[in-house]
Amino acid sequence: MSALPPYASTAQISWYYGFRVICALIFFFLIFPIIVIMPLSFNAEDFFTFTPKMLALDPAGYSLKHYQDFFTNPDWQQALWNSVRIAPVATLLATSFGTLAAIGLSQSHVPFKSAIMAILISPMIVPLIISAAGMYFFYSRIGLQGTYWGVVLAHAALGTPFVIITVTATLVGFDRSLTRAAASMGADPVRTFFKVQMPLILPGVISGALFAFITSFDEVVVVLFLGSASQKTLPWQMFTGLREQISPTILAVATILVVISVVLLTVLELLRRRSERLRGLAPS
Amino acid sequence: MSENRGAAVRYESVQKSYDGENLVVKDLNLDIARGEFLTMLGPSGSGKTTCLMMLAGFEPATHGEIFLNDRPINNVPPHKRGIGMVFQNYALFPHMSVAENLAFPLQVRGMDKSEQQAKVKRALEMVELGTFGSRRPAQLSGGQQQRVAVARALVFDPELVLMDEPLGALDKQLREQMQYEIKHIHDNLGVTIVYVTHDQTEALTMSDRVAVFNDGVIQQLSSPDALYESPQNSFVAQFIGENNKLNGRVTAVDGSECVVEVPGGISLKADAVNISGVGSKTTLSLRPERVELQPEKEMDNMIDGKVEELIYLGDHIRVRMNVAGNREFVVKVRNRGERRQIAEGDTVKIGWAASDCKALDAVA
């Protein structure tokens, strides 16, 4: 949709502007609920609504007390610590397994490829509550329910499909003669993987890892089923906070999480672009 | 097979099938001498690339054995064969600089840094890219990438280098230039090169010997000139260079010569190369430049032909004629500057020597 050509008909002109209105509405619908919590998190009162003082932009209507609560309250600090302990490990597992699975499934001689693929990405398709209930019964039997590793493994299972999908997409553009070239020069398969294949599919691996991390970091249903009080993560704490004591600290936490997500996405996207450029893959 | 000891590469009754039913390579026996430049030439699907891939180790042989310096290599993985390879699409590592690409096989071999640098420098100078070490492959032209690929396949001093249609992606002029460069590198280093191509010009200009593949079988294995001058069968005659075909029946055989009757009741003398005796069908093969138009002296074969079309090509003129029922009969006439008085529709006498006309297996 570039500039309107001079021969555009009435219908084209109205679509030209109508299209922009639709786009704006979609953005508004997606972003407004997130934006609106940000000013509310600076509320001086313990309410979820804008006070008259806030609307009048009176400095007295704003405060950082909810942020202070988040950083001093031991419940929130424990939840933050749990999230930080769980998400990276789950991400690491999901990324390793997902990458390996994607590489395996990209080989031409694998039988039942689409069936295996469907099973591996099913955690993304099956309703979360069903996965969670299934995992609960299974993990209880094998003694993982209510443990740190139980939550980590469950989150890794939820994150793996994202890695498989992004890495598979990257592998489509991967030239197999590169691994043959490496072999002809004497590199064994392990060396070929780390020196040739891995650096080239890294952008896909990074994107997948990011999705896996966010999946674990934001996840509340599975952790409610599988976790015990000592695995209480940030989303869990927010969820119980909403039900039990409606404190705007939740809004402060939400704002912090949004900022973290945006920063993470931006940094990784920049890294990814940089590595693509360095690897001579992107058009300069 | 003691008489074959010392061959750099030996294929012994090698067969290859991808689906377990159709043989892509049928009973291949081939010896490649040390230091030889051997080209596997053939149309696509003839099995030539499969033969190369089996030698490189990327495809297992279904049957038979391949020897490298008299050592069977069927059970040796590709990375332990020590064979250099140049790929059709160059297969340069895009995330490494040119120098890093070249250093890769040396790193794998645990060579120390200073020695690596010296070898990389020498290899780059060999392909006249001395100052390009820090560039990335994407910053090079196709021809330069091709040179890097050649340098990379040679930098670790392999005794054997395989090239899989390495010049296919280059334009004509660059391709010709690279042909000579590869040939010179081969002459200077004395490595054994096995080269796969479907381009006959490439095969003829570069090779010591050419193996012409068709349908999974080597049709002829000989030096480039023998391939052109004395093709052993109609496929080779047709595939290498330009060729006029005349179908006929053998009426007499006298030693190495035979007489063939072609449509119109014309009897022609020919070199008996691949015929099964008096009465059998045969296809005569005749190079367009060996036919004389309006010959001044008596020749072995002299018949009339009707000029159908004249095509001016600068250094020569192609005359398409109707000869003995074949309307695709081409005569190449060198452009000597004098104006020839031939016009389309004329009937003129043409002639050729019996030795230039090969009686081969019959084709439809």
For the segment A140-165, what is each residue's pLDDT rounded down to a tens digit? 999 888 889 999 999 999 999 999 99
Count of domains observed in chain B = 2
Q: pLDDT tens digits for B270-305?
A: 888 888 878 888 999 999 999 988 888 888 888 888
- Report whether pLDDT(A284) > 50: no
Select from A175, A192, A280 the Cβ nearest to the Cβ of B89. Answer: A175
Q: Which of B234, B263, B293 is the last residue of a domain?
A: B234
Q: Does B297 touch chain A (CB under 8 A)?
A: no
Residues in chain A: 284
Asked if residue A212 belongs to a domain, the reply is yes
Q: pLDDT tens digits for A217-233?
A: 888 899 988 888 888 88
Asked if residue A222 belongs to a domain, the reply is yes
* CB contacts, 8 Å: B82 with chain A: 186
Calculate mean pLDDT across residues A267-274. 80
Asked if residue A172 belongs to a domain, the reply is yes
pLDDT confidence of residue A96 = 95
Same domain for B270 and B356: yes
Same domain for B138 and B20: yes
Same domain for B188 and B261: no
CATH number at residue B314: 2.40.50.140
Identify the domain containing residue A98 by its residue range.
75-247
Same domain for B226 and B160: yes
Nearest to B32 by CA among B68, B61, B57: B68
Cβ atoms of residues B242 and B330 within 8 Å: yes
Cβ atoms of residues B240 and B274 within 8 Å: no
Asked if residue A157 belongs to a domain, the reply is yes
User: What confidence category does residue B341 fall into, taking pLDDT thresholds of 50, 70 and 90?
Assistant: confident
Q: Which of B234, B253, B269 is the last residue of a domain?
A: B234
Q: pLDDT tens digits for B120-166?
A: 998 998 888 888 888 888 888 888 898 899 999 999 989 899 999 98
Select from B58, B108, B136 the Cβ nearest to the Cβ of A185. Answer: B108
CATH number at residue A153: 1.10.3720.10
CATH number at residue B66: 3.40.50.300
B145 vs A184, A186, B85, B205, CA distance in Å? 18, 21, 14, 22
Name residues 157-216 of chain B within 8 A of A (Cβ): 162
Residue in chain A lying closest to B137 (CA): A280
* CB contacts, 8 Å: A174 with chain B: none
Select from B58, B92, B139 the Cβ nearest to the Cβ of A180. Answer: B58
Same domain for B257 and B218: no
User: What confidence category does residue A283 fall into, taking pLDDT thresholds of 50, 70 and 90?
Assistant: very low
Neighbours of A60 (CB within 10 A): 10
Asked if residue A281 belongs to a domain, the reply is no
pLDDT confidence of residue A277 = 72
Same domain for B316 and B185: no
User: What confidence category does residue A260 fall into, taking pLDDT thresholds of 50, 70 and 90?
Assistant: confident
User: What confidence category does residue A113 fall into, taking pLDDT thresholds of 50, 70 and 90?
Assistant: confident
Rounded to the nearest angstrom, the minimum Cα separation between B109 and chain A is 8
**C-alpha–C-alpha distance, residues A265 and B40, integer Å:** 52
Q: Does B56 touch chain A (CB under 8 A)?
A: yes
Same domain for B260 and B227: no
**C-alpha–C-alpha distance, residues A16 and B346, integer Å:** 69
* pTM greater than 0.80: no
- Considering chain A, what is the average pLDDT of its residues? 87
A74 vs A42, A201, A234, B170, B336, CA distance in Å? 21, 42, 12, 68, 102
Q: pLDDT tens digits for A126-143?
A: 999 999 999 999 999 998
Identify the domain containing residue B346 by its residue range.
242-360
Residue with more model confidence, B327 or A54: B327
pLDDT confidence of residue B3 = 45
The tokens of B318 are what?
């192609």
Rounded to the nearest angstrom, the minimum Cα separation between A107 and chain B is 14
Same domain for B202 and B322: no
Asked if residue A42 belongs to a domain, the reply is no
Same domain for B76 and B175: yes
- Report whether pLDDT(A98) > 90: yes
Same domain for B279 and B318: yes
Residue in chain B lying closest to A175 (CA): B91
User: What confidence category does residue B53 fall into, taking pLDDT thresholds of 50, 70 and 90?
Assistant: very high
Q: Does B152 touch chain A (CB under 8 A)?
A: yes
User: What confidence category does residue A240 fall into, taking pLDDT thresholds of 50, 70 and 90?
Assistant: confident
**C-alpha–C-alpha distance, residues A146 and A265, integer Å:** 31
Q: pLDDT tens digits for A30-85?
A: 999 888 888 888 888 777 777 777 777 778 788 888 888 888 888 889 999 999 99
Calculate mean pLDDT across residues B14-37. 90
Same domain for B206 and B315: no
B235 vs B209, B218, B240, B361, B364, CA distance in Å? 18, 11, 8, 9, 12
Q: pLDDT tens digits for B178-237?
A: 888 899 889 988 899 999 999 888 899 899 999 999 988 999 999 999 999 889 989 999
Cβ atoms of residues B233 and B239 within 8 Å: no
Cβ atoms of residues B207 and B32 within 8 Å: no
Measured CB to CB, residues of chain A less than 8 Å from chain B are 175, 177-178, 180-189, 191-192, 195-196, 199-200, 278-281, 284
**C-alpha–C-alpha distance, residues B110 and B217, integer Å:** 41
Same domain for B207 and B248: no
Paired with B303 in beta bridges are B350
- Considering chain B, what is the average pLDDT of its residues? 88
Asked if residue A9 belongs to a domain, the reply is no
Asked if residue A153 belongs to a domain, the reply is yes
Count of domains observed in chain A = 1
Select from B57, B79, B138 the Cβ nearest to the Cβ of A187. Answer: B79
Q: Which of B234, B255, B276 is the last residue of a domain?
A: B234
